[in-house]
Amino acid sequence: MTDEELCAMAVKAMDNAYVPYSGYKVGAALLTRSGKIFTGCNIENAAYSPSVCAERTALFKAVSEGERDFVKIAVAGGKNGKIASEFPPCGVCRQVIAEFCSPEFEILVVKAENEYGVYTLKQLLPNAFTPENIE
Ligand code: THU
């Protein structure tokens, strides 16, 4: 699985986004150490706060299937499904990633067709609060 293929899966996952309120379709593709891919999309809700981001959908799908060892995630998003620029993970998703992934975990953020930025978790969430901070 190349980074480009993972990004393409994130772009494809945008198709299933349920976004009647914002119109922003977001997709994520999470690669596990065992070589599986879990995709996710954002799913909004009329009450707004129950909405969930694409990244967390992918992570929670994976964890609920017994996977906790992750290599990298790709994320893509844009208004009405058109990618105009990077759509980086929100703070809550960064925190959920930090629960399971090392500071070196890679986050690929799609910015255009065949173009993406590569960030580490520690770049996007420096000095993270992690399970190591509590007993
Ligand atoms: N969204 C994501 O799916 N991932 C992020 O990390 C940022 C935001 C979603 C939430 C909402 O459905 C839409 O994008 C607009 O904020």
Residue 25, amino acid: K
Which of 14, 42, 55, 124 maximizes ligand 1 atoms within 8 Å of its Cβ, making it the mutation to test the pocket?
Answer: 42
CATH classification code of 3-134: 3.40.140.10
**Other CB atoms closer than 10 Å to residue 125's CB: what's the count?**
21
Residue 125 has pLDDT above 90, yes or no: yes
107 lines ligand 1 (CB under 6 A): no
Q: Is 55 a catalytic residue?
A: yes
Its pTM stands at 0.97
The residue extents of the domains of the chain are: 3-134
30 lines ligand 1 (CB under 6 A): no
Query: Mind listing the pLDDT tens digit for each residue in 66-101?
Result: 999 999 999 999 999 999 999 999 999 999 999 999
At residue 42, φ and ψ (nearest 5 deg) are: -80, 145
